[in-house]
Amino acid sequence: MTPAQPERRAGHAALACVAASVALVAVTGLLGPSAAARPLPGRGPHPPYWIAADPSPWLVTGLLLAAVGAGAAGLLLGLRALDRGWRPTPRRLLAGSVLAVAAVALVPPMGSADHLVYAAYGRIAALGGSPYIETPRQLAERGDPVGRAVEAPWQDAPSIYGPLGTAEQWLAARLGGESPHAIVWWLTLFGAAAFGVTGWLLQRLAGPDEQDRARAALLWSLNPLLLFVAVNGAHIDTFGVVWAVAALLAVRRPTAPGAVAAGVLVALACAVKLSFGLVVLALAWALRRHPARLAGLLLGGLVVGALAYLPVGLSAFNQLRTVSRLVSFGSAWRAVVGLFEALLGEPAARTLISLLAWALLAVVARALARGLPWPRRYPDGERTALEATRAAAILGFAWLLTAPYTLPWYDVIAWAPFAVLAASWYDRLLVLRTAVLAAGYVPGRVVPLPDPLGPLTMGVRGVLGPAVGLALLALVLLPRRVTRR
C-alpha cells in the first residue's frame, strides 16, 4: 500500500457520502408534494418533476435527515482527507457539481415555502404593483393562483428583499405567467446558475494551486448541505452571493477602477439582500490604507445603490423594523428570549436583544480575527484582496453566530469566503452549524405533523439548534493564535 492510498480512500468515501446526500434529496423531491414540498399548481412539461407518491411525513423527514447527515459526513471526511494529502482533480469535482446541481434543481424545492412568496412578489411586480406595499394575501384575494399558493407564515408579509432581488422575481413571473409551477422553476434555475457561477469565481479567487482549487470546489460547488438548503430550496441568497464574490475578485486588481468595480458589484449584492452589506465592510477594511481606492469603492457602491433603490423608494425598507425584532427558533438567542421577555416585556426585550447582538458580533469578529487563518496563496500576491476575503469570512461567520434571526440558507455568506481560506478547525464548526440548522428545518413547511414527529422536529429546531449555537459561540471565543502567510 502506498502512503497516498489511505487518503484516496478517505476522499472516495467523502465523495460517496456527498453523492448519497444529493441522491436522497433528489429522491425525496421526486416523491412529490409532502410535508417538505408544497404542491405547485399550474404544472407543465418543464421542471420541477415529481410523481404523486403521497409520501408520509415520517418518510420525507427520515430521508432528508439522512441526506443532511450524509452531507455533513462527506464534508468532514473530505476536509480530513484534504488535510492528509488527498489530491482530487478540481475539474472532476466541478463536473460532479454540475450533475449534483441538476439533480437537486430538477425536483420541487423543499425545506421551506419561501420560493412561493418569492413567486408572489414577482407576480405583484409583474402586474404593476409594489411587493413592498402589497402582500400575497391581497394578491390571493383577487383570485390570482400565485397569491393563493403562498403558505403561512408569509401571506401578510411585504417583501424585505432589495430591488435587484425583486427584479429577479419579476423576471421569473414574466416568464412563468400565472403558473406557480413555472415561476418557481425559473427562480430555481436562476439560483442554480448563480450558484454555479459563484463556484467558478471561487476557483479564480483560490488561485492556480490545484489543492486550493479542490478545497474551494468541495466547500462550495460540491457542498451537499448548500445544494440542499440553498439550491434545492431556491433561496434568493444564492442570487445575492454571486455579486459579493465577484466584488472580492474585482478588488484583486490594485487599481482605482478595480475598487470602483468592486463597489458596483457589492452594491448589486446589497440590492438583492441587505445582509451582504457585511461584504462592504470587509472590502472597506481591506482598503483602509488606500484612500483613493477606498473612495472609488464607496463612490461606485453609493451610485449604483442609489440608482437601484431610486425606482422603489423608501418603501423597500418598510419591513426592516419588523424583521429586526424577530428571533428565529434556531438562533442562540432563543435560549434567553423567554427570560428577557418575562423581565422586560416583549418590545423592550426584542430591542435589547437586537442591540446586544450587534455588540456580540463585534466581540466574535475580534475573536475570529485572532484565530482564522489567512489564505495560503493568492494570485499576484495582492494582499488587499486577501484581507477582504478573510474579513468577509470573519464578518459572515460572526453574523451567523450572533444574529437573532438566522436560517440555514443564510450560511452562504460565510461558506463562499471560507472556501478560499486555509484549512482550520473553524471549517468543522461551520459544517456543524449548517448541518444542525438544516436538520432543524426538516421537513420545513408550516403544516401539522403527527405525534411524536411534530414535537421531535421542533425540539431539534428550538432546543438543539440554540444549544449548538451557544456551544459554537463558546468555542469561537476561546483564544486562538492566527496563522499568517
**Assigned C-alpha cell, 474:** 463558546
1 pLDDT more than 60: no
pLDDT at 153: 84
Using the Cα atoms of residue 254, residue 292, residue 276 and residue 401 in order, give the sign of their dihedral: positive
Alpha carbons 60 and 38: distance in angstroms, whole number: 13
pLDDT at 316: 81
Using the Cα atoms of residue 379, residue 384, residue 385 and residue 389 in order, give the sign of their dihedral: positive
Helices (H) and strands (E) in the chain, counts: 22, 0
Burial call 267-279: b when 16+ CB within 10 Å, e when fewer: bbbbbbbbbbbbb
Alpha carbons 36 and 259: distance in angstroms, whole number: 43
One-letter amino acid identity for 226? L
Tens digits of per-residue pLDDT, 207-226? 888 999 999 999 999 999 99
97 pLDDT more than 80: yes
352 pLDDT more than 60: yes
Cis, bond preceding 452 (omega within 30 deg of 0): yes
**Assigned C-alpha cell, 309:** 433603490
pLDDT at 3: 43
Q: Taking residues 390-394, report their average pLDDT.
A: 96
pLDDT at 256: 86
**Assigned C-alpha cell, 370:** 485572532
Nearest alpha carbon to residue 260 among 221, 301, 220: 301
Kindly indicate the confidence band of residue 4, based on its pLDDT and cuts at 50, 70 and 90.
low
484 pLDDT more than 80: no
Kindly indicate the confidence band of residue 69, based on its pLDDT and cuts at 50, 70 and 90.
very high
pLDDT at 378: 53
Alpha carbons 108 and 32: distance in angstroms, whole number: 7
Say if CB 393 and CB 425 are below 8 A apart: no
393 pLDDT more than 80: yes
Tens digits of per-residue pLDDT, 100-137? 999 999 999 999 999 999 999 999 999 999 999 999 99
Tens digits of per-residue pLDDT, 144-161? 999 999 988 889 999 999
pLDDT at 480: 61
Q: Taking residues 248-253, report their average pLDDT.
A: 91
User: How many of the other CB atoms lie within 10 Å of CB of 337?
Assistant: 17
**Assigned C-alpha cell, 199:** 463556484
Count, residues in the chain: 485
Kindly indicate the confidence band of residue 376, based on its pLDDT and cuts at 50, 70 and 90.
low
Compute the half-sphere exposure of residue 159: CA atoms within 13 Å on the CB side of its CA.
35
Tens digits of per-residue pLDDT, 421-471? 988 999 999 999 999 999 999 998 888 999 999 999 999 999 999 999 999
Average pLDDT, the chain: 93
Q: Taking residues 271-288, report their average pLDDT.
A: 96
Q: Determine what percent of the chain is predicted with pLDDT higher than 70.
A: 96
**Candidate from 70-79, 251-260, 465-474 with smallest mean pLDDT:** 251-260
Q: Rounded to the nearest 10 degrees, how much is the dihedral formed by the CA atoms of 86, 92, 97, 103? A: -120
pLDDT at 255: 84
Q: Taking residues 281-287, report their average pLDDT.
A: 96
**Assigned C-alpha cell, 395:** 464578518
pLDDT at 252: 87
**Candidate from 11-15, 273-277, 310-314, 435-439 with smallest mean pLDDT:** 310-314
Alpha carbons 54 and 239: distance in angstroms, whole number: 31
Q: Determine what percent of the chain is predicted with pLDDT higher than 90.
A: 83
Rg of the chain taking only CA atoms, in angstroms:
22
Say if CB 248 and CB 205 are below 8 A apart: yes
